[in-house]
Amino acid sequence: MSTPSTTPQGTCYRFTVESADQAAALIRDRLGPKAHVLSVRTVEAKGFKRLWASPRLEVVARVESDEAPAECQATGADTSVEQFPSATGAGFPSLQSLLKRAGVSDIAIGRLQGDGAWPVLVDLPLHRALVEVGSVLKRQSSAQTHGAPLNRAAFLSTAGSGRTTALCKWLGIEVFRNQRMGQVYAVEFDQPNPVGSLPMFCEALGVPFCRFSPSPRPAPVRDFVYFDMPRFSLGDSEDNALIRAFMNREKIGQRVLVLNVAYDHATLRAAYAAGRTLGATHLVFSHMDEAQQWGRAWDFLCDGALEPLFLSTGTALSGECTQDVWDAVVRKTLAAAGSGDAGDESQGARPVPGERAHQGSLPA
């Protein structure tokens, strides 16, 4: 494939070669001294050819020059240089569009754009920009994670959010990983608070469980007292006032909000707002395995008001959860943003993502 007669500054080229040495020679001889490599990834042969054909290298390089390179037909079978727009060109997907495709809302993207690193991110190759977005988010998260243990905490949620299951998972972490013990209370007012398998699970762990008594013994320094609260309402209800008054009266300063990420975005926002009104201090994401886009969790992580506690990816009473919430959500979201073609294949407008992709220089 031949290049046009003129090559604008920042024009990118993609080509597939047999080896790194061949790629380096092609860049040096055909694209000129002002070309540099943006990314390299291994491309496996398709179909039955995979049985005998060796993997090839797909290389993306950019020419930082107003001069047109020489004829870009590489030596070697079936190897040619393909021109396509640079990352800032009209035909190339933007970083913002990739994040939106992964489920990140305009609100979360707006907060990200307010970071001083954003102008630098948009000028990077897209696959590299996605990695750096993760670094920015983790840096922002460090200010939210205090690491103080829960001692006297209430677990809050709307109906169907998996609050009691989340409490069971956390109890497993406390007993087996943190080597802590304590007490669990189920709280109810005029309506029963179904606790499912919580009493049986507490018995298996050796953690005392009972319905709320008026004056539970305060937790020792090393131990905990947890309260499984009745579900709260998304409307202006007296139930929420009762829950708030109870927690204030019993001096429950730590309040864990459980959000079902599989719910629609409007319901999630309403539940988050109601939890904030009830004084939530920590955040748990449940049903992550049912959410098609993990990017929807960014709204609440980037808000920075609540400390992430853990996320749950299953309905089992123990396990299937991770405490490194930011890392898990960022990796899953950016993997979705970088998967597949991000632009029109006919225009060659696609980044070079994937586990085996990396940025670096080829040997000269």
Choose between 351 and 222: higher pLDDT: 222
Task: Give the pLDDT band of residue 168 (cuts 50, 70, 90).
Answer: very high
For residue 168, give Cα distances in angstroms to 1, 2, 153, 188, 258. 61, 64, 14, 18, 13
Distance CA 45, CA 352 (A): 17
Task: Give the pLDDT band of residue 264 (cuts 50, 70, 90).
Answer: confident
pLDDT of residue 166: 93
**Domain range list for the chain:** 11-90, 152-336
Q: How far apart are the first and last CA of the chain?
A: 23
pLDDT of residue 10: 53
pLDDT of residue 359: 35
| 3-class secondary structure, 364 | coil
pLDDT of residue 255: 96
pLDDT of residue 357: 33
Distance CA 202, CA 292 (A): 32
Strands (E), the chain: 11-17, 35-43, 56-63, 81-84, 152-156, 182-186, 209-211, 224-228, 254-260, 282-286, 307-312, 321-322
pLDDT of residue 3: 39
| Residue 39 in this model has a pLDDT that exceeds 70 | no
- The mean per-residue pLDDT over the stretch 13-29 comes to 79
Q: How many CB atoms lie within 10 A of CB 28?
A: 13
**pLDDT digit string (tens) for 307-338?**
999 998 877 887 788 888 877 877 777 766 65
CB 104 within 8 A of CB 295: yes
Among candidates 203, 163, 210, 154, which has minimal Cα distance to 185? Answer: 210
Percent of the chain's residues with pLDDT above 90: 23
Choose between 24 and 222: higher pLDDT: 24
Task: Give the pLDDT band of residue 218 (cuts 50, 70, 90).
Answer: low
Question: Any bridge partners for residue 154, and if so which?
Answer: 227, 255
Helix axes 126-141, 325-338, angle to 10 degrees: 160
| Residue 304 in this model has a pLDDT that exceeds 70 | yes
Query: What is 152-336's CATH superfamily?
Result: P-loop containing nucleotide triphosphate hydrolases (3.40.50.300)
- Mean residue pLDDT of the chain comes to 74
Least reliable range by pLDDT among 16-25, 143-152, 253-262, 350-359: 350-359
Question: Any bridge partners for residue 15, and if so which?
Answer: 59, 81
| Residue 1 in this model has a pLDDT that exceeds 80 | no
pLDDT of residue 93: 62
Percent of the chain's residues with pLDDT above 70: 70
pLDDT of residue 353: 33
pLDDT of residue 50: 58
Task: Give the pLDDT band of residue 73 (cuts 50, 70, 90).
Answer: very low
Q: Is the dihedral of CA 230, 232, 238, 244 positive or negative?
A: positive
| 3-class secondary structure, 239 | helix
**pLDDT digit string (tens) for 173-188?**
999 998 999 999 999 8
Task: Give the pLDDT band of residue 48 (cuts 50, 70, 90).
Answer: low
**pLDDT digit string (tens) for 81-137?**
555 444 444 444 677 877 777 777 777 777 777 777 788 887 787 777 777 877 777
Among candidates 224, 179, 176, 178, which has minimal Cα distance to 201? Answer: 176
Residues in the chain: 364
| Residue 197 in this model has a pLDDT that exceeds 70 | yes
- Give, as one character, the DSSP assignment of residue 3: P
φ, ψ (nearest 5 deg) of residue 46: -100, 155
Q: How many CB atoms lie within 10 A of CB 179?
A: 8
Chain center to CA of 186: 33
Task: Give the pLDDT band of residue 194 (cuts 50, 70, 90).
Answer: confident
Could you tell me which residues come within 8 angstroms of residue 282 by beta carbon, excluding any fewer than 6 positions away?
A: 150, 153, 254, 255, 256, 257, 306, 307, 308, 309
pLDDT of residue 182: 92
Q: Sheet holding 56-63: strands in order across?
A: 35-43, 56-63, 11-17, 81-84
| Residue 266 in this model has a pLDDT that exceeds 80 | yes
Kind of pairing, strands 81-84 and 152-156? unpaired
pTM of the predicted protein model: 0.62
DSSP string, 139-163: HHHTTT---PPPSEEEEE--TTS-H
